[in-house]
A = this chain, B = another copy of it.
Amino acid sequence: MSEIQVTFLPSNVPIRVPQGETLLRAAMAAGVHINASCGGDGVCGKCRVIVEAGTVESEPSERISKEDWARGYRLACKTQVFSDVQVRIPVESVVDASALRRKAPRRTATVQQIGFEEIKEQGLFLPAVEKLYLELTPPDAQDHLPDVTRLVNHLRMHHNEHGLQVLLDVIRKIPTVFREQNFKVTVTLARPVRSSGKTLIMNVQAGDTTAQNYAVAMDIGTTTVWGQMVDLVSGKALAEHGEFNGQISYGEDVITRIMFAEKPQGLETLNRAVIATANKVIDQIVKESKVAREDISLITLAGNTTMTQLLVSVDPRYIRRSPYVPTATIYPPIRAADLGLNFERHVTALVYPQVSSYVGGDIVAGVMGSGMYRTEKLTLFLDIGTNAEVVVGNKDWMACAACSAGPAFEGGGITFGMRAAKGAIEDFSIDPITLEPMLMTIGNVRPKGICGSGLIIIVATLFETGVIDNQGKFDRSLKTPRIRENSNVWEYVLAYKEQTQIDRDIVINEIDIENLIRAKGAIYAGCMTLLAEVGMQPDNIEQIILAGGFGSYVDLERAMTIGLLPEVAPEKVIYVGNSSLLGARMSALTNSIRQEVVGVTNMMTNFELSETHSYMDNYIAALFLPHTDLNRFPGVNEQVTQHRADVAKMRGRSKEGQ
């Protein structure tokens, strides 16, 4: 979609946005505050603006009179832009945006795509399963070699394939399939992990089917199971689908799942639940991609240690008992049908190895899929989901740890916290004078709660504008009904109940903020502890790789403002999305990952933070916004100081003007 320019007056702030974007989102991106507390649903009627030039499409609203409509008044949230436009913020709501506006549009991390061409150029495009079309010589009276011997000899002579083993299921198909098209057949070969291993002949089909060769890549998340249909010829993902993990009804996080698994039939129940979810995902991507099941030969799976053990039916109880040992970190190739996965019998399941009880296959997949294991750069890999895991290192060494961050970034422990779904407040701005909010929700509907990325922006903005201090406490001197004490807890009202979907005021209170500070503190302290343990400084970090559900939405500068991420130039931050899924897909595409992954996991030194002396000091120091030691966040410190000075100046002017 082509971009157009929106210029906000009177402050004359330009912003480039895609055609069809709403004016409210454009304003938010430009750092121009417009009061709006219904999330973009057109209900509160506060986001009135005047379109002075350009083409827009706008829904009529009873909040705008006929006269005002004629004068160009529109609701910013219900107005889409289709050409370069000029928009004036009405005097009644305008503040000196030029003074406050962010230097750049919201900075999110660069999204890393799979560099399929690069993989090919590096000679790494060697799928774990490969198809070969063969024209065998049919047997006759002079040549009565057995079918299988005929096949193996042909592969040996014409394709230099040695150390072949033919699966029984293939042997069963051979007599018929060989004779369907007069000994013209396509075989599917599964490559061994080590070159000394056997190459398995895992399928045989009549005729030439080499153009149809597929794998499923799957991330078994605690919350969501994602699957991709991967075309092993083009490298493309043909379909992608996610479903909530059916285990959710038995517990939100891994610990409650393990506790459930310890009950009678608990393990079987959880195993069946996740397999059922995986099958739903598989069915959907098979349907979407129109791939024939017999052309799928592989499924690669990644999940954390508990999810992996539940997937393969291995009792996880010792994961949560000191000394926290997982049963296994490496799994052999498994027949997918034996796991209950809805595939033909020849399909092999490859499960990503784990490092420890709390650094699982999802993290390993991230390290592999993101290319961290091949980079020279000192990298901080951070996967924030239901829990948070940190890896520090590069191709030569790695240290990793799981942080007991808790689920704050997925909405856990936050009064109005929720997952990133329709109605979640995902962006926020505040009028520094009136302290009125500007809210954006996912789906532009009335708010229901606050998602992780929204939470970061809200807390960072409240801190920048001095509404809360560096311990997360509200400035009790500020005069606005939105800041109030409720059952001894101070809170800020984001949206009054009339503008919500839930018929309750949506607020953020000091307990929420404290929980967020603890969560970000745990993650930051984890990073710092790992760095310190390997004798490194935050300055040494050359790149940050963000993974996990909210990674692509998080406002990097705001994440640094609250001290979640160490302060680095935003361009050093890469977002890899669902790194677990990425890693699963990469290992379907390039067998070298399978060859190297065990070496990588052996190299990944695991630190149990609770048993690492420096961790507690790091953690306590991080329980401030952004941190006790402001020297670690010089940029944040400078910006917040400047911002607060501006706000103070404005508030002074505002008072003078009264």
Interface, chain A (partner B; CB < 8 A): 139-141, 143-150, 165-168, 171-172, 174-176, 196-198, 312-315, 317-318, 322-332, 334, 338, 354, 356-357, 608, 611
Contacts and interface: CB of A to CB of B under 8 A. Distances in A.
A206 B243 CA distance: 40
30 contacts: A140-B323, A141-B323, A143-B323, A144-B324, A144-B325, A144-B357, A144-B608, A146-B354, A148-B328, A149-B328, A149-B329, A165-B332, A166-B328, A168-B331, A168-B334, A171-B312, A171-B327, A172-B312, A172-B313, A172-B314, A172-B315, A174-B314, A174-B327, A174-B328, A175-B314, A175-B315, A175-B318, A176-B315, A196-B196, A197-B198
B608 A329 contact: no
A332 B143 contact: no
**What is the oligomeric copy number?**
2
B314 A146 contact: no
Nearest to A165: B332
Given A144-B325, A166-B328, A168-B312, 5 more contacts: A144-B323, A144-B608, A165-B332, A172-B313, A174-B328
Contact of A171 (B172, B314, B318, B325): B314
A191 to B, nearest CB: 15
Contacts of A324: 144
Given A141-B611, A196-B196, A146 B323 contact: no
Contacts of A325: 139, 144-147, 150
Contacts of A166: 328, 330, 332
Nearest to A176: B315
B327 A175 contact: yes
Contacts of A312: 168, 171-172
A322 B148 CA distance: 17
A198 B174 CA distance: 27
Interface centre among A175, A354, A356, A611 (most CB of B within 10 A): A175
A599 to B, nearest CB: 14
A648 B196 CA distance: 76
**Nearest 3 interchain pairs by C-beta:** A148-B328, A144-B323, A175-B315
B326 A146 contact: yes
A329 B146 contact: yes
Contacts of A317: 175
Contacts of A176: 315
Nearest to A328: B148
Contact of A327 (B146, B198, B326, B331): B146
Contacts of A611: 141
Given A139-B325, A175-B327, A318-B175, A144 B313 contact: no
Contacts of A147: 318, 325-328
A167 B326 contact: no
Contacts of A356: 144, 146
A167 B331 CA distance: 8
Contacts of A139: 323, 325
Nearest to A171: B328
Contacts of A326: 146-147
Nearest to A313: B172
Nearest to A142: B323
A174 B171 CA distance: 33
Contacts of A146: 325-329, 354, 356
A82 to B, nearest CB: 58
A145 B602 CA distance: 12
A187 to B, nearest CB: 14
A228 to B, nearest CB: 24
A357 B145 CA distance: 10
A420 B335 CA distance: 46
A170 to B, nearest CB: 9
A554 to B, nearest CB: 33
A580 to B, nearest CB: 20
Nearest to A330: B148
Nearest to A351: B168
Contacts of A354: 146
Contacts of A144: 323-325, 356-357, 608
Contacts of A315: 172, 175-176
A100 to B, nearest CB: 51
A608 B165 CA distance: 28
Contacts of A329: 146, 148-149
Contacts of A175: 314-315, 317-318, 327
Interface centre among A165, A168, A315 (most CB of B within 10 A): A168
A171 B140 contact: no
A346 B144 CA distance: 36
A645 to B, nearest CB: 51
A148 B327 contact: yes
A322 B174 contact: no
B168 A322 contact: no
A144 B331 CA distance: 18
Contacts of A143: 323
A632 to B, nearest CB: 31
Interface centre among A166, A176, A314 (most CB of B within 10 A): A314
Nearest to A318: B175
A486 B166 CA distance: 59
